[in-house]
Amino acid sequence: MTSEQDDSRLRQERLRKLEMIRELNINPYPYSFTRSHKAQELHEKYKDLPADTETEDVVRVCGRVLNERNTWMFVDLYDDSGKIQLFCHKQNIPEEELKRLRLLDKGDFLGAEGTVRRTKQGELSVKVTSYEILGKTLQPLPDSWDGFTDVEARYRHRYVDMIMNPNVRDTFRKRSIAIRTIREFLDSRGCLEVETPVLQVEAGGADARPFITHHNTLDIDLYLRIATELHLKRLIVGGFERVYEIGRIFRNEGISTRHNPEFTMLELYWAYGDYNQLMDLAEEMIVETAIKVAGASKVTYQGVEIDFKRPFRRLRMVDAIKETTGLDCSTLKTFEDAKTAAVKLGGVDLTHCDTRGHVLNAIFEHKAESSLIQPTFLIDYPVEMSPLTKPHRTNPGEVERFELFAYGRELANGYSELTDPLDQRQRLEEQAAKKAAGNEEAMPLDLDFINAMEYGMPPTMGIGIGIDRLVMLLTDSASIRDVVAFPTMKPIVK
């Protein structure tokens, strides 16, 4: 096991110092501190101050001590805007107070007052005349020489990760910017942000295994939602023409660098539009988000340049298959034809395929998906794997669905929503039959959803975007855990 950051020797030492601070009648955990400037503000205000120059300007700064040199003569103080150096010298501070600095440790919070100067070395500093401790640390921070690199420890103690690794804080700021951009984009287009139930009697709207929980007084099992789709569409039925939810989704599946059991999805439903208009809208939103987060529509992800430049390529699934395998799907009339062709290609896992459409999708996933590096809308899916999607207006057996891929990964899924209640009932009954036959990922029959649709639903376009995966791409994060502040971890068994 890795360190729990509780080495008793180092902690005891800090407890000893804490005791000494208290014996001096100093509160090591005071109530407030009035600051005049953040570090960044000082750097901006005094950017033209020459080296080895003093000012008379008195400032008050506060933050966390992360480094100290020359026996506390130079202290690196960090706030959430950056670093400012403190210069602590007996010339300016009473000697006994100067000595008390040694009761501090790296990691402690400190407030200081003094004048602004730039040192001979060119480092902007606060020449400290008085200081106060604002929070004593008991746990030692990781070695700043080696950094905090243990992958497991970083995720388990994310707060330490954030203290030690500025890029981690930066990633979460960017995540916030991404979500805010999307909100503003949608709000400015008349979309209404709504909230729908997390706890559901049946978990529908996607193919995934749900988490199960229990309500005590009702004495019933409930599922955590695997999608927000079915409730958002009820809102469309209810008369809201543009609704969206940025919500946590829970799926009881494997954990990997691209999957966290809980993740954040944007789902948007917009009446009177179809999947063609939706692709235009999605492009615009994603490009705007990329520019706000990464500064440009072009980003580098894991060494590969990804250009979110409009328009994104639009590629029919059957054409993607043809491009990479040479296979003409129109010659595959039946499930058996498709299976035979897939076996002939080799390397296609058909374990969960029970229809022609699923086989085509498997061929795509195994042969073509990883080659979709630049943003590409894969369009026109087989009807069998899309029970909530409107049939294609011209191509039999297909539906008006797209998925957006970038770096070979799925980012979004959208379609012209199925609005025919009779067709919907039939498709969900087929799903329910599969579920009854043991397919854990098939959708349950949500009769109330069908009932809602029987009350009438306008033509609607709808999309789901994996926010975590989008943020991964825009922040060059290799793992979904890098963009989730507190990723799911196996508990430590003692």
Residue 155 or residue 377: which is nearer to RNA going by CB?
Answer: 155
Pick from 70, 300, 426, 488: which binds RNA (CB under 7 A)?
70
Interface with RNA (CB under 7 A), residue from 36, 53, 71, 300: 71
CB under 7 A: which stretch of 4-12, 27-35, 108-116, 128-136 binds RNA?
4-12
d(CA 126, CA 42): 10
Contact yes or no for 122/165 (Cβ under 8 A):
no
Residues 408-427 binding RNA (CB under 7 A) are 410, 413
Is position 142 an interface residue for RNA (rule: CB under 7 A)? yes
Q: Which is nearer to RNA, 87 or 237 (CB)?
A: 87
Strands 82-87 and 409-416: unpaired
* Secondary structure class of 467 (helix, strand, coil): helix
CA-based nearest residue to 469, from 413, 386, 387: 413
Binders of RNA in range 212-241 (CB under 7 A): 226
Q: Is 74 in the site for RNA (CB under 7 A)?
A: yes
How many Å apart are CA 467 and CA 82, to the nearest integer? 28
User: Contact between 494 and RNA (CB under 7 A)?
Assistant: no
Residue 259 sits in the site that holds RNA (CB under 7 A)? yes
Instruction: Give least dist CB 289 to RNA, A.
Output: 17
Cα–Cα dist 490/336, whole Å: 42
Whole-number Å distance between alpha carbons of 404 and 282:
9
Q: Binding to RNA by residue 139, rule CB under 7 A?
A: no
Among 221, 336, 349, 454, interactor with RNA by CB under 7 A? 349
Output phi, psi for 405, to 5 deg.
-115, 145
Interaction between residue 110 and RNA (CB under 7 A): no
Contact flag: residue 143 with RNA (CB under 7 A) = yes
- Whether the CB-CB separation of 399 and 383 falls below 8 Å is answered with yes
What whole-number distance in Å separates Cα of residue 494 and Cα of residue 233? 47
Among the listed residues 207, 398, 400, 446, the single contact to RNA using CB under 7 A = 207
In angstroms, what is the minimal distance from the CB of 6 to RNA?
A: 8
Our finding on whether 57 is near RNA (CB under 7 A) is no
Cα three-residue angle 481-483-485, rounded to 5 degrees:
80
351 near RNA (CB under 7 A): yes
List, in order, residues 6 or more apart from 75 with CB less than 8 Å away.
Answer: 65, 67, 68, 69, 85, 86, 88, 101, 110
| Pairing, β 82-87 against β 74-79 | antiparallel
Identified binder of RNA from the candidate list 361, 424, 460, 477, rule CB under 7 A:
361
Q: Quote the CA–CA distance of 257 and 382 in Å, as a whole number.
A: 28
Using the rule CB under 7 A, which residue among 109, 131, 155, 308 binds RNA? Answer: 155
Q: Is 180 in the site for RNA (CB under 7 A)?
A: no
Our finding on whether 151 is near RNA (CB under 7 A) is yes
DSSP single-letter state for residue 444: P
Closest among 183, 192, 412 to 292, alpha carbons compared:
183
Token pair of 345 as six digits: 């290609």
Report how far residue 49's alpha carbon sits from residue 52's, in angstroms, rounded to the nearest whole number: 9
Residue 437 engages RNA in binding (rule: CB under 7 A): no
Residue 279 · residue 312 · CB < 8 Å: yes
Q: Pairing between strand 262-271 and 460-466?
A: antiparallel
Distance from C-alpha of 4 to C-alpha of 9, rounded to nearest angstrom: 13
Q: What's the half-sphere exposure (Cβ side, CA atoms, 13 Å) at 287?
A: 14
To RNA, the closest distance from the beta carbon of 8 in angstroms equals 9
Q: Are 263 and 481 in contact (CB under 8 A)?
A: no
Nearer to RNA, 218 or 493 (CB): 493
Task: Tell me which of 41, 253, 423, 430 binds RNA, using CB under 7 A.
Answer: 253
Position among 125, 200, 431, 477 found at the interface with RNA (CB under 7 A): 125
Binding pattern for the stretch 288-327 against RNA, x by CB under 7 A and - elsewhere: ----------------------------------------
Give the number of other CB atoms < 10 A from CB of residue 230: 23
Considering only 83-91, 129-137, 179-187, 266-274, which stretch makes contact with RNA by CB under 7 A? 83-91
Which of 244, 381, 407, 449 forms a contact with RNA (CB under 7 A)?
381
Residue 476 as a binder of RNA (CB under 7 A): the answer is no
Binding flag, residue 140, RNA (CB under 7 A): yes
Provide, rounded to whole angstroms, the least separation between the CB of residue 239 and RNA. Answer: 28
Stretch binding RNA (CB under 7 A), from 63-71, 191-199, 281-289, 429-437: 63-71
- In sign, the C-alpha dihedral spanning 134, 139, 144, 150 is negative
Among 246, 466, 471, 477, binds RNA (CB under 7 A): 466
Please report, in angstroms and rounded to a whole number, the separation of the first and last CA atoms in the chain.
10
Q: Which residues bind RNA (CB under 7 A)?
A: 1-3, 5, 7, 9-10, 13, 17, 67-71, 73-74, 85, 87, 89, 91, 102, 105-106, 117, 119-121, 123, 125, 127, 140, 142-143, 145-146, 149-152, 155, 206-209, 226, 251, 253-259, 349, 351-352, 361, 366, 381, 385, 403, 410, 413, 441, 466, 479, 481, 489-490, 493
